[in-house]
Structure 1
């Protein structure tokens, strides 16, 4: 009876499971996440007030770790990947796969294919408007793979329902970012968390409007579901 009670998850406690996680590299955030890190095989949503507020630096520790041996897919990012920032962040730019779809439908298809075939250690997808059925497909695809998946969306999407088990709203704050965990497996997080990002020089971002990395570029096929994307 005692063993059974210990295995019961209570809504007042952070969920603990056998699912694999990786530390975010930010102890204050790890302490608020189930199993103490980013969940693998799950759709994680980052809801941003605007692009370039530090969301990529938030992911820097895990991207540096994964890119050492695995491919990181950047699908439809708002700006160009910046090679010098990659190197200064110890991210292996040779393992970055920059995918430039021609439409949102192609971007979602590319993300599903990357998850389905397990070709990447992590996938980061940027989208503005995502239909509920597309979110469900992404979530289901994530559950069948050993890949980490982040979906970056506008802050306005926080009001929409989502199957994602982890949703975090990010806002800029002096010296770092404010992270408001709006959904997690556990009790509601009452207050936003301040995450210091003090080691990033002003204006030094992984994604840049004016600079392009020699990361591998992929243009997805015009019609989702057609031939495999070609490297260019």
Structure 2
């Protein structure tokens, strides 16, 4: 029997197909490049950012909106203050949001691991600048033990570092959206960057340089360094 006829045999030239649950991202071009066509559950997914505020949380908006209907969502160590009213305009139930801010990175990692292991939230989004490989492995194992979606936001400069995450995406700013590089997936290499339009991003110019951009932004997309303190979304 040829390998292609065996359901449990994966060839590196093809996108992997597994029994693990996935949820569509809400962005058709991205779904087409992901194994099983969506965000995988019970695993570590890394989003590596050129800089904060380029639309990374908007990329997750369809998923977070769907989960917030009946599950809690934990935002751990976000770089900016959450903006509840903006999140509500996205259709996210803010009563189900849990915002955790720790004094030390180790405390944030510990809290994330506990949330993953006890399954108290449907999704966890963690922001970290520096994280050791052993901590990545612990988080990945914790994610595998529960029915939770888990995203880790890290700098794009970490792309060269080894990671147990089966899915790693690099995010760069793009006019009216975001450019996504599939850095790691269970399947063939994806050489071309994907352009994902984001409706809430200001069209026609770089979001970080648009002073009149909509307030519904994850990071200070509408604020320059000379302006007021940024907020999350």
* TM bucket, shorter chain: 0.7 to 0.9
Larger RCO of the pair (alpha carbons < 8 Å, separation 6+): 1
- TM-score scaled by structure 1? 0.88
Q: Secondary structure at the match of 2:189?
A: coil
Compute the RMSD of aligned alpha carbons.
1.7
Corresponding residue for residue 15 of structure 1? 16
Q: Secondary structure at the match of 1:56?
A: helix
Distance 1:26 1:158 in 2: 23
Q: Secondary structure at the match of 1:164?
A: coil
Question: Gaps (5+ residues) in structure 2?
Answer: 203-212, 221-228
Corresponding residue for residue 99 of structure 2? 98
Corresponding residue for residue 223 of structure 2? none
1:1-232 mapped onto 2 (5 Å cutoff): 1=1, 5-7=5-7, 8-200=9-201, 202-203=213-214, 204-207=216-219, 209-210=229-230
Distance 2:188 2:110 in 1: 34
Question: How far is the alpha carbon of 1:154 from its aligned partner?
Answer: 0.4
Deviations 1:140-189 (A, max 9, x none): 00000000000000010001000000000000000100000000000011
Question: How far is the alpha carbon of 1:206 from its aligned partner?
Answer: 3.7
Q: Is the 8 A contact 1:85 1:206 kept in 2?
A: no
Question: How far is the alpha carbon of 1:83 from its aligned partner?
Answer: 1.2
Q: Is the 8 A contact 1:44 1:165 kept in 2?
A: yes
Question: How far is the alpha carbon of 1:134 from its aligned partner?
Answer: 0.2
- TM-score scaled by structure 2? 0.87
Deviations 1:180-208 (A, max 9, x none): 00000000111110001133452421456
Question: Gaps (5+ residues) in structure 1?
Answer: 214-232
Question: How far is the alpha carbon of 1:5 from its aligned partner?
Answer: 3.1
Q: Secondary structure at the match of 2:168?
A: strand
